[in-house]
Amino acid sequence: MKIVACGSVPTISAPENYFTGRVFQTPLMTEPEEPARLRTVLVSFEPGARTAWHTHPFGQTLHVVSGAGRVQSWGGPIQEIRAGDTIFFSPGEKHWHGAGPNTAMSHIAMQEALDGVTADWLEKVSDEQYGG
């Protein structure tokens, strides 16, 4: 058993090359013992903030813990999400997620690593794409 004490892992600003707006990440499980591959992180988006387009080799599950936001898969409509919702993206599905224009949003992101890689980051979501 391993317990990671509350407050023992620092919250960091998310990398600007993968996000638009102010986003903070608090790692929950980043280096599991083999053979486990699951990585989890609490991601908090300020209003209007969002990820770039990206994919995951084994897919991704998001669980919204507070606020309201948006998600979109490539070629699909923007969908509204809110606290309590759980979203699954299939392996290789190009997508983005983030806060609403006027609301903050936090979710727990869960994804497995393939050879240590959890995501393939692509182009940023433009203001036009985000606005629908």
Give the C-alpha separation, 81 to 16, whole Å. 23
Q: What is the CATH code for 12-120?
A: 2.60.120.10
Q: To 10 degrees, the CA torsion angle through 36, 41, 80, 68? A: 150
The token duo for 83 is 């606290």
Domain coordinates in residue numbering, the chain: 12-120
pLDDT for the residue 103: 98
Rounded to an integer, the average pLDDT of 84-88 is 98
Report the mean per-residue pLDDT for the chain.
95
**pLDDT at position 31 over 80:** no
On whether the CB atoms of residues 39 and 118 are closer than 8 A, the answer is: yes
Rounded to an integer, the average pLDDT of 3-12 is 91
Look-up of token digits 């699954």: 88
Give the C-alpha separation, 128 to 34, whole Å. 42
Summarize pLDDT for 40-79 with one digit per residue, the tens.
999 999 999 999 999 999 999 999 999 999 999 999 999 9
pLDDT bracket for residue 35 (50, 70, 90): confident
pTM, 2 dp: 0.94
Please state the separation of Cα 34 from the chain's center in Å: 23
Preceding omega of 27 cis (within 30 degrees of 0): no
pLDDT for the residue 10: 95
